[in-house]
Amino acid sequence: MAENKFSSVLQRKATEIKKEEERQTALKKKHKIRDPNVQVVETNVFLRNLADMAGRLLRIFSTILIFVLAAIGLLCIIYPSSREIFIMICQEMLQQLNSFFQ
């Protein structure tokens, strides 16, 4: 009975080693690696890619927002009627903020 237990453990271990070797062979073929001493390890980089994508989206959104605000500022400088309206809006906004904090 003890031999049977050991042989099943050995068989399981041999099966795992064979599967790992097959996986390594497939990974080496996928990555075009010919050196037999190299062990290929694939990692999950989902979170890093997600953070990079969020950073790129934030950078694009910020750039667009800066251009829009620059265009509004330029229009306020060029046209006197829009400048007056903008000044009135800013004054009302400051009054609202003062009433909010008091």
Q: What confidence tens digit (pLDDT) does each residue in 12-58 have?
A: 888 999 999 999 889 888 888 888 888 888 777 888 899 999 999 99
102 and 67 within one domain = yes
Structure tokens at 99: 């009433």
Residue labelled with tokens 């190299």: 38
21 and 65 within one domain = no
Q: According to the model, what pLDDT value does residue 8 have?
A: 82
86 and 50 within one domain = yes
Q: According to the model, what pLDDT value does residue 5 have?
A: 64
Q: According to the model, what pLDDT value does residue 64 have?
A: 98
Tell how far CA 36 is from the center of its chain.
34
More confident call, 7 vs 58: 58
Mean pLDDT in the chain?
Answer: 88
100 and 57 within one domain = yes
Q: According to the model, what pLDDT value does residue 7 have?
A: 76
Which of 59, 93, 86, 57 lies closest to 71 in space, CA to CA? Answer: 86
Enclosing domain of residue 98: 45-102
Residue 60 has pLDDT above 70, yes or no: yes
The amino acid that residue 17 corresponds to is I
Residue 66 has pLDDT above 70, yes or no: yes
